[in-house]
Amino acid sequence: MTTNTHSQHVSEQHLLGPDVEQARYDRGAQVLAAVDGEGGQSVVDALADIAPALAHHVVAYAFGDVYARPGLTHAQRQLVTLGMLTALGGCEAQLEVHVNASLNVGLTPTEIVEAITHTAVYCGFPKALNAIFVAKRVFAECDLLPVHAPAA
């Protein structure tokens, strides 16, 4: 989304001076880049011609208002997110972005696999297996297979 379109959308939608909404958006964009990298930005870009408001909410609210908050590290947030996306089911596209994000914020492949192995207890094996195979695809692309068992 170009700066022009974004500013235009912002002043249409939010009845606030463009600087403020830009500040929430910028804070969110900064966190989005650090956490989701390319995967997240491509989602935002793909929304430009259909739902720019939804893109704005992803960046300004989800990342700017929530993810940017102190209190939990990014790695801790990603653990909560891996649990949620596995439990929801049908969110493999987002799991792919977030397995990558989990690596970006410092979780190891071993820790990601442990988290998903843990989900089988609470979500059942079908959902856990769907999640583990998303992780397998991501790790294969990143040349991170095989994943090592945790040190005892």
Closest approach of Cβ 5 to a second copy, in Å? 7
Burial of 20 (0-12, 13-18, 19+ CB in 10 A): exposed
Handedness of CA 63, 69, 70, 76 (dihedral sign): negative
| Residue 55 in contact with a second copy, rule: CB under 8 A | yes
Using the structure block, give the residue that is written with the tokens 């650090």.
Answer: 34
Closest approach of Cβ 1 to a second copy, in Å? 5
| Residue 44 in contact with a second copy, rule: CB under 8 A | yes
Residues between 112 and 131 with contacts to a second copy, criterion CB under 8 A: 113-130
Closest approach of Cβ 33 to a second copy, in Å? 13
Token duo for residue 40: 């997240």
| Residue 106 in contact with a second copy, rule: CB under 8 A | no
| Residue 142 in contact with a second copy, rule: CB under 8 A | no
Closest approach of Cβ 119 to a second copy, in Å? 6
Residues between 4 and 43 with contacts to a second copy, criterion CB under 8 A: 5-7, 9-10, 12-25, 27, 43
Residues between 69 and 98 with contacts to a second copy, criterion CB under 8 A: 69-72, 76-77, 79-94
